Amino acid sequence: MFALVESESIKKFFSGNRGITIGDNQYPKEIFTLWTKSEREAIGIYEVEMDNSKRKDEQWYNNTNVTYAFGSGKVTGSYGDATAKAHADTKYTSQDKTDGLIPDGKDVGDVKNEGLKTILIRQVKKEAAGELQNTDWYIVRKADAGTAVPSSITTHRAAVRTKAAEQETAITNAADTPALETLYTYTKQEDGSVTRPLGELPRLES
């Protein structure tokens, strides 16, 4: 992205994929690719430089809109301080009821907005259910025909449930959003593998 700067102030932005008009002069889109940086800046066109130092992972944070400024001979786009998403559910209050903000079917104390913990625990349950589904047919066969479920399958299914329970507990016990983020942060190990504090559900070997 490029910006037109006049009198030390940003006037407009350009995507760089079409020609532009500045005053009485028309310029082809090639000025954004074939002209040098100095040539563009001589007519007030500056390439926007992004400062992402305050931009955070949007799974855990709400980033601000980008603000643009001209200074020290360059145009910079930057973010403000990101705000952590709520880690716990927010619920309807008595004031919400007084203000008429509670929809039909809901009441004081019901969930107004789900927090990250609720969302993440639901994901754990879904992932565990998906893994167990791969071997559900053994259980159905046992119920229908009395065929014994192999011990390896029984052990695997128990391990999935145990690990899922551990993950849910870890999520529930996280004190805040940064703590949740840490649970999901992968780090490289000496053997080249990557792991996260939350761990992974056991997978059935094929």
Say if pTM beats, i.e. exceeds, 0.85.
Answer: no
Q: What is the pLDDT of residues 11-70, one digit of tens each?
A: 999 999 999 999 999 999 999 999 999 999 999 999 999 999 999 999 999 999 999 999
For 25-34, what is each residue's pLDDT tens digit?
999 999 999 9
Identify the pLDDT of residue 31: 95
Compute the average pLDDT of residues 103-132. Answer: 96
Per-residue pLDDT of 155-187, as tens digits, reads 999 999 999 999 999 999 999 999 999 999 999
pLDDT at 8 over 70: yes
Give the span between the Cα atoms of 142 and 134, in whole angstroms: 15
Mean pLDDT score of the chain, rounded to an integer?
Answer: 95
117 and 198 Cβ atoms separated by less than 8 Å = no
pLDDT at residue 205, as a whole number: 77
DSSP per-residue string spanning 14-75: E-SSS-EEETTEEE-GGGGTTS-HHHHHHTTEEEEEEE-TT---TTTEEPPPPEEEEETTEE
